[in-house]
Structure formats: C-alpha cells, structure tokens
Structure 1
Amino acid sequence: MTIGIVIVAAGRGERAGSPQEGPKQYRSIGGRPVIAHTLETFLNWHRSGPIVTVIHPDDEGLYAASVSTLPRAKDARTTFGGDTRQRSVFEGLRALAGTGATHVMIHDAARPFIDLALLDRIAAMLDAGHDGVLPAMPVADTLKRGGADGLVHETVSRAGLYAAQTPQSFALSEIRSAHEKAAALRRDDFTDDASIAEWAGLPVALIEGSADNIKLTVKRDIEMADERLSRQEQRSPLPDVRTGNGYDVHQLVPGDGVTLCGVFIPHDQKLSGHSDADVALHALTDALLATCGAGDIGDHFPPSDMQWKGAPSRIFLEHAARIVREHGGTIMNADVSLIAEAPKVGPHRETMRRNLSEFLDIDMERCSVKATTNETIGFVGRREGIAAIATATVVYVKD
C-alpha cells in the first residue's frame, strides 16, 4: 500500500484577517509560515508516498518562499486548485494519477499541528482494510438550536456527534470516483471529503483525532498558534541535533576492483566481505543508526545470513535512513572519509557524492566524501586494507 498525500492550500482565508495580510496558510507562526509546519510533518512521516500541494495560481511565489527552508521540499509537487475546496481536492487527486499511490490522505494546510502518531493510527486503519477513515473528536460543548428570532429553540443531544478533522483518508480509486461523480452532477455543496464518500456509499470509519489538530480559521487562531509555538521555543530553545559516528575496515585481497560509496573502481585488488564490502557505506550506515540508538549494521544485516552475500551496500544505507525517519529524524549531513593508499578516490568523488544524495534522499551539498592515505604506515599503508570513518548529523522532532 502506498499512501499519497494531498495538502489543500488554495483557499483565500477571508475570515483570517485583511487581504493585505495574505492567505492564512502563508502567515507566520513560530517564525515560519503555517504551510511549512504542515508540509514538514508529512515530509518526515516514514509512510508518506507522493505528496501534492494544491495551491492558488496566484501563490506560486508565496509557496516557494514559504517552503524554501525545508530540506526535502522538492519532494512535494504542486498543482493549481479550483474555486472551491471540493474542486481543489479533485485537482489534487487527479495529480496523484500515475504515481503508484493506492490510498490518499487529504489534509488542510491550515492544520499545522498534525502529529506523526495520528498519521500512524490512520494508516493502521487503512492497513486493516478500511476504504475510508475520518479522524474526529467527540463534541464536548452543549449544543443549542437557534431560530431566526434570535432565541434558543432547543438543546440538541451531543450523543454520537463528532467534530471532523483532517487528514481524511481513503482508497484513492474510491474517493476519486466519488469526486468525479459529484463533479459530473455539478454537486459542489459538500463540506468535506467524508461527506462526499458518505453520499457515494463509501463506508467511513471513525478514529479518535487529536485535540491539538486544530484548524486555523480566524485571525485569533493564528495569533494563538504563534503564541503556543513561541512558548514551546522558550521552554525548549535547543533543537534535538544528534551526531553519529561510524568506522569500518575491510581487507584487500587479489581481485579486479573495489566498490566505494556505490562506485566500482577498477583495481588489482578487491575488498573482502560478505556483501559488496563497500566500507564507506558500511561506516555511514553505522553512523546513521547511532543517532537513534538502533544498534549497528551487524544487528540488521548479520553476515551469517546468506541473503546478504554479495548484496549492494546501498540496501543497508537506505534501510538505516528509513529507520532514522521512522524515529522522526531529518538527515542534515553525511560525511565520509576514506583511508587508502590506492586506488585514487579523487576522480570519483563527485559521483560518490551524487550516490549518497540519492541513497539518503538529501541534497548533494549535504554530502561530503574525502580521502587520504596512511603515509605507508600500518595495514592501510601496506595496502592490506581500506578503512572508512563516517559522521552523520540528524535533527529529530518529537511527535
């Protein structure tokens, strides 16, 4: 199952203040635009598939500026929305065509406090076979029905009543068909996607939402969100930045070449090992695992397991990167130092950096590869082996 994400950000937000202040999803809370907080959560969620942000045609510049500081913002594509939220969602669903997504989470950009735990609970419901999942909170306030005369006419029982939240999640083909049917009939009066699903006969399961998952609607909501984040920053001024180190060495034996950072370099020797013996990627794998206390490469890929015999070491590195992201980490930097008398690494350095960028899904400027000799001293100096030292920097956020 692949879960695509549609973030709805095409609205004008008329109730959130004057037009001069701009749409609410681009207002600043905690020093960053609302939409940056929202998008970052989905970028950091380990089960996010293709992400589509639906924006207004006039907001391309605003959107680009708002997400420019997010390390993986390029992973989210954009499409233009319509004149209603319903139409905008439909455009987002259409943009997921051909991406491989089988399910979709549809989320309001103006809900910046969505957390990873709620996303995991919704995904578990989808895994269990539900075609529609709605996070919601039981209504706690006493409800009154008023009349045109301005008087209370009755007290409405709140039993079985819920306040709907997003992301509202569905089997992609089912909700897209429901939207297509509504569009064909010119039905544009649905207030959310769950109501379209109900109208189309798609069962929607309820799941407990989050009290923090509020929608910023009016100006005071934005001010309160900013105050909340400012208080959090005052209580916790230091980011959770962790650095992991890794070291590995492999013996050189007669052969036809070595693989370093995923690059095969012809040579009169090869590295001995159970996998492809890529000493650089092994060291970097350990460095990443160290940032979240997840053991070392041998715990995850024991050399006694024959399925890893001759395996490309990118498998190990990508596995470690997934574990980091599952723990709420964002990989900020990867640095590898190779210690070898031969072969020469310099001519291959840029290709190695590109490989690290691809394997870790981070910008190439965050990837460094260096090489040095051991000045003919020790086992490296005698060309008996190659060593690697790696350092990884990861920023973690709490759910």
Structure 2
Amino acid sequence: MTTAALIVAAGRGQRAGGGLPKQWRPLAGKRVADWTLERFRAAGLPLIVLVLNRDDRQYWDEFEAHSDIILAPGGTDRAGSVQNGLKALEGRGIDKVLIHDVARPCVSPALIHAVEAALYSAPGAAPGLAVTDALWTGDAGQVTGTRNRDGLYAAQTPQGFRYDAICQAHLTHRGGAADDVEVARDAGFTVAIVPGEADNLKITRPEDFARAEQILTQDRRGAEMDIRLGNGYDVHRFGPGDSVILCGVEIPHDRTLQGHSDADVGMHAVTDAIYGALAQGDIGRHFPPSDPQWKGAASEIFLRHAADLARNMGFTLSNIDCTLVCEYPKVGPHAAQMQQEMARILDIDPDRVSIKATTSERLGFTGRGEGIASIATAALVKS
C-alpha cells in the first residue's frame, strides 16, 4: 500500500506572534515547515502534499522545485484545505494518507510509522495522549468546577486514514469539525488510538517556540552522535610454564599460554574489539607477528595503542566487556584486579570495564584444557 503525507500549512497562526505565519518563522536554524517536512522525509514517505495559502506566492515558487512535493491551495477553513490536498492526490495510486499540522515540527518518524501501521487493521488511526492532569472548568480567572479525566485524550497529528474513505467522509461532512478524526467518526468509521508523544507539541503560543527548539536541538545532537560497536575474539594454546597472563594479571598455573607476544588472550580480544569498532583491522595489521620486535612484547602495548587511536579519531571509549572461556585457571578470584588493570591501561573508570569468565562445559579445545579463548565487545562514542 502506498502512503502519502498531507501537511496543512495554509493558516496564519496569529496567536504565535512574530508577524510571519508560524510555519515560516525560524526554529533551531530552520523554518518550522522545513522541520516538519524533514520528519516525514525521514520516515520514508515518497509523496507529500503541502497545502499553502494562496497569498504565500514566494513559498509556492520555492516548493515547486521539489520532486517529492505536490502543492495545493488552502481553503476557507482547515477542512477546505484538507479537501484540496486530498484532491491533489487523485489518480496517484495512494491507498493511505497521513494528515498533519505543519505546526507540529517535532513529530518523530517512529510515530509516523506507528500511525501508518495501524491503518492495516483500521480505516483510521491517530495519536493521542491520555489526560493525566486534573481538569477544571473556569470563568473570569476562577475555578468553577471539575471534569472527570477518565477516557480523555489530547489529540495529535498525523491522523491517518484509508484514502478513499476519508475523501468520501469529507465530501459528505456538514462542516465545522475540529479535526479529521471528527470527520471520519461522523462518517461512521472507526479510528484507532495510537499512543502519542509528549514531544509532539503543536506550536500555538510564542512560548512554544522555545520548547520546540529544545526538543529539536536534543534530537539533532542524538542524530549527530556516532556510536560504534566492535567485537574481538582470540585463542591461545597452553604450553609448558608456571603462570598465565590474563587481562594484565599474572596468575599462577601449571602451564602458560603460547603466542608471539605474552599471549594475553583477554587483552588481545579487547584490543581487536576496539580496532573493529574503528574499522582499523586487528592487532596483526598494526603489530605484525612477522616483525621480531614484537616477540614476547607485553600486550599492554597493543591495548594502549588501540585506545590512543580511538581518542585520536575523536572517540570516547564508553565501555568494554570481556569474557574468558576456560576450565582453568579460575578467573573469579582475580577479576577485580583485572578490571582495575584494564581500566588503568585504557584510562577509563573501572566501572566501565567488565571482566567475567565461563567454561565450555568440557566441550571443545577449551573444555579439554588445551587453551583459553576470549570474546570481547567495545563501545565507542563520538559526539
């Protein structure tokens, strides 16, 4: 089914102040209408009908150049504007339409998708916030009574409908509806309630601009954050010796781990996890085993290089999680010391380092006591 958005932007918005109609006023570096259009494009809708006031000629000229936007003239009231927008979609193979107020620029793509998805099982759907505050009636600045809030919702947009059904509903409606849900219900078809979002505010008064800017700025910061995850895996076999080094801690044992360096299997897995998150290969790329200078080297050198590389690329190491897989030696008594040592090398707080161990239930090479394996995950963040 093909879905289109219908954005009503023909009003004058006098209560919002500022001279210009509110949809054309600046907000967090863009205009209100630009933010609203961006949200629907981010939701992947292929076609948007933008209903503009006939007097806003400069905006008609601007948006005519957009291939995904169809322009329609505003009517004498909101219902007339919606009807003109619906007519503009005739013959375009549209099955569903989401009707939205341009003055709700903080709508999330997730909410848009939720309304659209609800139309697979209902002819209409719209977001609503359950009323949780006490309700009063008032007159002349005084409370005159209360109202029961049970079953009451604050209506939001986008309000979604099967295209043919809402077109017919508008044709037969007597006029004066508060929104398209009222038009649909008067026509006799069901409208499902989708949970609304507190941030999906409608800009109505001058103070609403400050709140909308705060929401949009927070969203933009989140969108600009670069979060990386990397995985590391390493294995080393046992050989003759009297201790093993795991996550920087030497543990007495009747054998040792064999490798080109000190064979710290845990530290190697964490190092590779950091390189992986950075898309910078693995330890072998940066410290080739064919190079004799790294024979017997302390794995701290590799781990510190990976952490420094992450910082040089602008990332903060958020946390690491390392699991050692072995039957022996027992890791638990040494885990806290390992945590402290790894945190020291990585220059992060110990509570961002997880070191744990498991057995393989005596299955495979670790279960037979032939060696130790390690699995690690690293999370990096760049704002």
**Partner residue of 2:89?**
96
Do structure 1's residue 213 and structure 2's residue 200 form an aligned pair?
A: yes
Instruction: Measure how far apart 1:228 and its partner are.
Output: 4.2
For residues 176 and 151 of structure 1, the distance between their equivalents in structure 2, rounded to whole angstroms, comes to 43
Q: 1:86 and 1:24 mapped to 2: Cα distance?
A: 19
- Number of aligned pairs? 229
Other-structure match for 1:11? 11
Mapping of residues 356-375 of structure 1, within 5 Å = none
Residues 219-255 of structure 1, C-alpha deviation per residue, up to 9 Å, x if partnerless?
111233234445666x56957699xxxxxxxxxxxxx
1:52 equivalent to 2:44? Answer no
Q: 1:222 aligns with which of 209, 212, 232?
A: 209
The one of 32, 37, 40 aligned to 1:39: 37
Measured at CA, do residues 239 and 22 of structure 1 come closer, stay the same or move farther in structure 2, by a change above 3 Å? farther
Q: Root-mean-square deviation (CA), in Å?
A: 2.6
1:199/1:236 CA distance change after superposition, 3 Å? closer
Matched, 1:177 2:168: yes
- Once the two structures are TM-superposed, the CA of residue 152 in structure 1 deviates from its matched residue by 2.9
CA distance in 1, matches of 2:77, 2:177: 10
Q: Does 1:154 align with 2:151?
A: no
Deviations along 1:52-99, one digit per CA (max 9) or x if unpaired, are: 00000122313655x69xxx9431111111121111011111111111
Q: Which runs of 5+ in 1 are unaligned?
A: 243-292, 294-399
More RCO (CA 8 Å, sep 6+) = 1
Residues 132 and 169 in structure 1, CA contact (< 8 A), matched pair in contact too: yes
Distance in 1, matches of 2:43 and 2:129, equals: 22
**Separation (CA, whole Å) in 2 of partners of 1:22 and 1:95:** 26
Q: Deviations over 1:187-214 (max 9, x none)?
A: 3311100011111111111110111111
Matches of 1:219 and 1:96 in 2, distance apart?
34
- Residue 196 of structure 1: aligned partner: 183
CA distance in 1, matches of 2:23, 2:161: 24
TM score, norm. by length of structure 2: 0.55
The 3 A distance-change label for structure 1 pair 152 and 54 is same
Establish whether residue 144 from structure 1 lines up as the match of residue 139 from structure 2. no
After TM superposition, the structure 1 = structure 2 runs for residues 195-344 of structure 1, keeping only pairs within 5 Å, are: 195-230=182-217
Q: The residue matched to 1:4 in structure 2 has which SS?
A: strand
Tell whether 2:111 aligns with 1:118.
yes
AA at the equivalent of 1:133: A
Change (3 A) 1:173 1:231: closer
Tell me the distance in 2 between the aligned counterparts of 1:240 and 1:61: 38
Other-structure match for 1:279: none
* Bigger radius of gyration among the two: 2
SS in structure 2 of the partner of residue 163 of structure 1:
strand
Instruction: Tell me what 1:333 maps to.
Output: none
Change (3 A) 1:196 1:102: same
Contact 2:60 2:71 in 1 (8 A): no
Q: Which amino acid aligns with 2:153?
A: Y
